[in-house]
Amino acid sequence: MSALAALEAGLLLGLYALLAGIWGVLWALAQFRQNPIFGRSAAAAYGLHTLAALTIILWTPLGFGWKCLIVGSSLVFLVLPPMTWRLLECTHQNEGSEHARKPSQHSRRLVARL
């Protein structure tokens, strides 16, 4: 790998991971906010992430195995936020009643307000 290619590959890999993070955060925010801009922004972030992945695959001299890893990671990044979210909702829905909760600062705040 040439000097310039090493630098470019490093930057692209960083961008690739960063865009995956932005996709995850925006996707999660879109679940809370009704504003469709979050959903669209999340899709755009994942589109850019895919573009970064394609650039890494087509342009950098990384070996075949590493390129497969990039593809696989992109697929996992795609499903990870919805999967995590579903699991979170599932665990929160199944959460026991008040007796399962430790006395929290949240509840103490309500007491303080009263």
- Asked if residue 3 binds other proteins (CB under 8 A), the reply is yes
**Residue 57 C-beta: closest distance to other proteins, Å:** 13
Nearest to 19 by CA among 51, 45, 50, 1: 45
- Asked if residue 114 binds other proteins (CB under 8 A), the reply is no
Q: How many CA atoms lie within 13 A of 20 on its CB side?
A: 20
Alpha-carbon span 10 to 21, nearest angstrom = 17
- Asked if residue 55 binds other proteins (CB under 8 A), the reply is no
Among 25, 43, 44, 48, binds other proteins (CB under 8 A): 25
Give the binding site for other proteins (CB under 8 A): 1-4, 6-7, 9-11, 13-14, 16-18, 20-21, 24-25, 27-29, 31-32, 61-63, 65-66, 69, 73, 76-77, 80-81, 84-85, 87-88, 91-92, 94-96, 100-109, 112
